[in-house]
């Protein structure tokens, strides 16, 4: 189970989401081929990824949706609920506080922080907004190990530092800036441009003004 490539780990939640949808639709059995068709990942890759963790399918009968789902939840440690600290109660913070996609998937926003005296003390989605300066002492007390950064770009690094002082080991960062954190802290970035760019590949170049000259492909093989 050691040294499984990070890129494999990043695909497991995608498999889990597909299985969640199948389970909700009442589907009992699936196959690497069906997952492949849904997800655009080759069936060989899916079987190889899952084989790192055991033998989940029986030859010729496919995967038991509920069993594989429970195994993935266990492997990803989301067979529990993780409390998260949200920093930033602006537009994005409010959207996240009300986000319904966390439910039943292992996460809950348990604390909200902001720097604005107008916001501190008020409630957001039923949670009392606290001052961001209290992050380092508040988090360890409550066993919070995950932070979400939803503040303006300029403040993101400072907030990351506070979260790290508060013992956070995982940060979900919405600000378009690369954070500097100690090695033991993981950071994932929510970057809509990554998703957009993988679609424009398929849209092609027609029908739009080119801002920069298109270079000849000097390297096409």
Q: How far apart are CA 83 and CA 158, in angstroms?
A: 21
Closer CB to its own copies, residue 117 or residue 195? 195
- What are the backbone dihedrals phi and psi of residue 114, each rounded to the nearest 5 degrees, phi first? -150, 165
Binding its own copies (rule: CB under 8 A), the pick from 45, 131, 138, 158 is 45
Q: How far apart are CA 137 and CA 135, in angstroms?
A: 6
> Closest separation between CB of residue 206 and its own copies, Å?
9
Q: How far apart are CA 205 and CA 215, in angstroms?
A: 13
Closer CB to its own copies, residue 47 or residue 94? 94
Binding its own copies (rule: CB under 8 A), the pick from 23, 41, 110, 127 is 41
> Closest separation between CB of residue 77 and its own copies, Å?
4
Q: How far apart are CA 111 and CA 144, in angstroms?
A: 9
Strand bridging mode 186-189 / 123-124: unpaired
> Closest separation between CB of residue 27 and its own copies, Å?
14
Of residues 75 through 94, those in contact with its own copies by CB under 8 A are 75-84, 90-92, 94
CB 57 within 8 A of CB 32: yes
CB proximity list for 142: less than 8 A, separation 6 or greater: 83, 110, 111
Q: How far apart are CA 146 and CA 148, in angstroms?
A: 7
Instruction: Confirm or reject binding of residue 17 to its own copies (CB under 8 A).
Output: yes
Closer CB to its own copies, residue 119 or residue 145? 145
> Closest separation between CB of residue 183 and its own copies, Å?
12
Closer CB to its own copies, residue 118 or residue 211? 211
Closer CB to its own copies, residue 23 or residue 170? 170
CB proximity list for 202: less than 8 A, separation 6 or greater: none
Instruction: Confirm or reject binding of residue 178 to its own copies (CB under 8 A).
Output: yes
> Closest separation between CB of residue 199 and its own copies, Å?
4
Instruction: Confirm or reject binding of residue 125 to its own copies (CB under 8 A).
Output: no
Binding-site size, its own copies (CB under 8 A): 92
Binding its own copies (rule: CB under 8 A), the pick from 31, 43, 70, 134 is 70
Question: Per the structure block, which two tokens stand in for 164?
Answer: 């790290």
CB 86 within 8 A of CB 111: yes
Instruction: Confirm or reject binding of residue 196 to its own copies (CB under 8 A).
Output: yes
């Amino acid at each position: 189970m050691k040294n499984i490539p990070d890129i494999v780990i990043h695909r497991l939640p995608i498999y889990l989401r597909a299985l969640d949808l199948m389970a909700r639709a009442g589907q009992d059995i699936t196959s690497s081929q069906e997952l492949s068709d849904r997800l655009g990942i080759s069936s060989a890759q899916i079987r190889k990824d899952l084989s790192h963790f055991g033998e989940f399918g029986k030859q010729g009968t496919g995967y038991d949706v509920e069993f594989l789902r429970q195994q993935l939840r266990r492997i990803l440690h989301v067979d529990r609920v993780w409390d998260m600290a949200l920093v930033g109660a602006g537009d994005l913070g409010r959207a996240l506080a009300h986000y319904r996609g966390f439910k039943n998937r292992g996460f809950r926003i348990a604390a909200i922080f902001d720097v604005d005296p107008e916001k501190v003390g008020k409630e957001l989605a039923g949670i009392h907004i606290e001052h961001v300066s209290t992050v380092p002492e508040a988090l360890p007390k409550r066993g919070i190990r995950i932070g979400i950064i939803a503040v303006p770009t300029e403040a993101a690094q400072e907030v990351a530092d506070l979260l790290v002082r508060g013992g956070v080991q995982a940060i979900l960062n919405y600000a378009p800036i690369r954070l500097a954190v100690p090695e033991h802290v993981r950071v994932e970035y929510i970057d809509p441009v990554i998703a957009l760019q993988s679609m424009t590949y398929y849209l092609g170049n027609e029908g739009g003004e080119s801002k920069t000259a298109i270079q000849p492909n000097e390297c096409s093989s």
